[in-house]
Amino acid sequence: MNIDHKGVAKFLSMLAFASLLLVLGGQAIGEEEYDEDTYGPKAPIIFTAPVKAVIFTHKIHTMDAGLSCDSCHDTFFEMEIGAAEKKDDFTMQSLYDGKYCGGCHDGQTAFASNTRCTVCHIGVKGFDRLQGGPKTDAHGGGHH
Amino acid sequence: MRISDLEKLKNEGVENLPSEERRRFLKFGLSVTGVFLSGSVLSLAAARNVHGAVEVLPPQAQKFPYSPHYSMVIRQNRCVDCERCKEACAKTNHVPSYGYRTTILEMERESGPGQTERIFMPVLCNHCNRPPCVRVCPTKATFKDKKTGIVVMDYKKCIGCKTCMAACPYNARYFKEENRAVDKCNFCFDTRLSKGETQTACAAACPADVRVFGDLSDTNSRVYKLIHAPEKVAWVLRPETGALPNIYYMND
């Protein structure tokens, strides 16, 4: 019994230590990461025009995929917030023509713009979630 | 086995079948209840009139129960939930904020190891050929339009018992306080089709051409062509209810 107890205690303390290491290690990895000056704004960009809504995350493209700022700025996108949405040609057709996201999302460099729609298109539902829950006045919800 | 023989069999349900058996059953079920593969249209007539599956006859337009036989093909993977269809529907048909005639459902599906895929699924009244809502209505306030097959409401006859809402396999009905009656999609029959428009408000508003609306009995219509394209797989929702819906889904 005694031995058993000791064994269990030892095992538990080892487990605790291991998990502590994991947590600390994880934090260290997590902390060393996101520098907005290097990788761009941390908050996702949400486009709501011409359709609601499209999400763009700098992290995925810069830190994860290894692109630099001048990979897209200012060839495909101006840095100013909302600049692309103001333009009339910010459409899927433009993407197919190699503009905006279509500069890379052409099926060669990255997945083609006319595939995997919902990777970027998060919809009204995704938009509402990011705003903190669905709006009550939206024509939606349930029938109840 | 002939359809006429099969019809005499008792439906045992699919709940207690092992998956292999179930898969085979469903495969058969598809041919008589409305999901069909490789361009055969089999949901459009009651099962007793279906010969296509057995005798490999091409579906015949004159057998469509209605003319025009209104139908909608929803090309699901094109939907990005912009909800312009909902807005257009609400505006056109004065749908209050607490209800809907059409809406978009959202699902998250595993598409690979550690990967998920978001799917948006537009839903609306399926204008079933055998509508459970019509069967249960005690006052005949809801019925199939004899010409077009649209499941319509006569608000004046509706007593608000909501039995139709419970019966509908597609949750496509809501109680409209303003009318003191149940309201539902009628393919914009009163607001658009009867005024010469050929598209429903939702189909016209869709920027991604998800909703294709038209006459399934017209061999030149887009819906007919999409449904009959041999390379396409189309499906309907909840075929097991035997309601024979007229809203088809496919991926583009």
What b-and-e string marks burial along A107-126, b requiring 16 or more CB atoms within 10 Å of the CB?
Answer: eeeeeebeeebbebbbbbbb
**What pLDDT is recorded for position B146?**
93
Tens-digit pLDDT profile for residues B95-114? 999 999 999 999 998 888 98
Minimum Cα–Cα distance from A135: chain B residue? B97
**Contact criterion met (CB < 8 Å) for B97 and A138:** yes
Distance from C-alpha of B46 to C-alpha of B130, rounded to nearest angstrom? 8
Minimum Cα–Cα distance from A125: chain B residue? B81
C-alpha closest to that of B97 among A144, A125, A127, A48? A144
* pLDDT at A128 exceeding the cut of 90: yes
Average pLDDT, chain A: 81
Burial of A43 (0-12, 13-18, 19+ CB in 10 A): exposed
**What pLDDT is recorded for position B67?**
85
Tens-digit pLDDT profile for residues A54-76? 999 999 999 989 999 999 998 99
Helix (H/G/I), strand (E/B), else coil: B194: helix
**Contact criterion met (CB < 8 Å) for B78 and A117:** yes
Which residues in chain A are contacts of B80 at CB distance < 8 A?
A: 51, 117-118, 121, 123
**Contact criterion met (CB < 8 Å) for A125 and B106:** yes
**What pLDDT is recorded for position B57?**
41
Contact B223, B216 (CB under 8 A): yes
**What pLDDT is recorded for position A8?**
61
**What pLDDT is recorded for position B221?**
93
Q: What is the mean pLDDT of residues B228-237?
A: 86
- Phi and psi dihedrals of B152, rounded to 5? -110, 165
**Tokens describing residue B22:** 């179930």
Which residues in chain B are contacts of A52 at CB distance < 8 A?
A: 82-83
**Contact criterion met (CB < 8 Å) for A122 and B81:** yes
Neighbouring residues of A7: CB distance < 8 A, sequence distance ≥ 6: none
**Tokens describing residue A16:** 């605790």
- Phi and psi dihedrals of B110, rounded to 5? -75, 125
**What pLDDT is recorded for position B230?**
82
Helix (H/G/I), strand (E/B), else coil: A45: strand
Residue B167 — pLDDT band, cuts 50, 70, 90?
A: very high
**How much of chain B exceeds pLDDT 90, in percent?**
60
**What pLDDT is recorded for position B10?**
73
Contact B141, B155 (CB under 8 A): yes
**What pLDDT is recorded for position A16?**
60
Identity of the amino acid at B105: L
Helix (H/G/I), strand (E/B), else coil: B212: strand
Percent helix, strand, coil in chain B (nearest 5)? 30, 20, 50
Contact B190, B154 (CB under 8 A): no
- In Å, how far is A48's CA from the nearest CA of chain B? 9
**Contact criterion met (CB < 8 Å) for B207 and A50:** yes
CATH number belonging to domain B61-226+238-250: 3.30.70.20
B69: number of Cβ within 10 Å: 25
Identity of the amino acid at B41: V
Tens-digit pLDDT profile for residues A97-123? 999 999 999 999 999 999 999 999 999
Tens-digit pLDDT profile for residues B3-57? 777 777 776 665 555 555 545 544 443 333 343 433 444 444 334 344 444 333 4
CATH number belonging to domain A36-130: 3.90.10.10
**How much of chain A exceeds pLDDT 90, in percent?**
56
* pLDDT at B178 exceeding the cut of 70: yes
Q: What is the mean pLDDT of residues B63-78?
A: 90
| Residues on chain A bordering chain B, Cβ-to-Cβ distance under 8 angstroms | 50-52, 116-119, 121-126, 136-141, 143-144
**Contact criterion met (CB < 8 Å) for B207 and A138:** no
Q: What is the mean pLDDT of residues B112-124?
A: 92
Distance from C-alpha of A48 to C-alpha of B243, rounded to nearest angstrom? 39
Residue A9 — pLDDT band, cuts 50, 70, 90?
A: low
Find where tokens 């999400």 sit: A55
**What pLDDT is recorded for position B25?**
45
What stretches of chain A show up as alpha helix (H) in DSSP?
Answer: 2-31, 36-39, 58-59, 69-72, 83-86, 92-96, 117-120, 123-130
Minimum Cα–Cα distance from B98: chain A residue? A143
**Contact criterion met (CB < 8 Å) for B80 and A50:** no
**What pLDDT is recorded for position A23?**
52
Give all strands (DSSP E) within chain B, no chain letters. Answer: 36-37, 70-75, 102-112, 115-124, 142-144, 151-153, 173-176, 181-184, 211-215, 233-235, 247-250
**What pLDDT is recorded for position B37?**
36
**What pLDDT is recorded for position B202?**
97
**Contact criterion met (CB < 8 Å) for B99 and A140:** no
